[in-house]
Amino acid sequence: MAQVYPSIGARSLEKVIAVHDGVQDELTRRAFEIGVRAEEILISHRADGHAEIDIEAGDNNRYVVLSDDRGQKAALSIEYGRAESVVVREGKNGGKYLDVIPAMDGLYILATASNLPKKRKGKVRVD
């Protein structure tokens, strides 16, 4: 009967598998495929914006990221949508006015590109 060891040397079995060259190559390939699909979806929706798709590598993982660091920092709203909100703004003459930011449905770019279910996040409040 075969015996399965929980570790090889000082590394856990999971770590040995994770750092294997074949596994790392497959992670890179799949992240690239998801990134290309996500970029196509983003381009089809973008009228004018600064959002972009980035692929980042961690120690043993790959990440496909929707980034809006150059724009309005609205990546979360782009992916999941947002509810209507009212903001008090300062006018040019020191007065204040209400600005209504309309609701927006999420585009679910990353979820669609990676074939994951589209789930709206719970209410997130950022002050």
How many structural domains are present in the chain? 1
The Cα 11–Cα 84 span in angstroms is 50
Whether 89 is covered by a domain: the verdict is: no
Question: What is the per-residue burial (b if ≥16 Cβ within 10 Å, else e) of 72-90?
Answer: eeebebbbbebeeeeeeee
97, part of any domain: no
Summarised one tens digit per residue, pLDDT across range 39-66 is 999 999 876 778 999 999 998 999 999 9
Asked whether residue 41 is domain-assigned, the answer is: yes
Residue 1 in any domain: the answer is: no
Please check whether residue 14 lies inside any domain of the structure: yes
Structural domain boundaries, residue 55? 8-80+106-113
* 123 lies in some domain: no
Residue 2 lies in a domain: no
Q: What is the pLDDT of residues 6-36, one digit of tens each?
A: 777 878 888 888 999 999 999 999 999 999 9
Look up residue 76 and give its two tokens.
């979360």
Among 15-29, 62-76, 108-122, the range scoring the smallest mean pLDDT is: 108-122
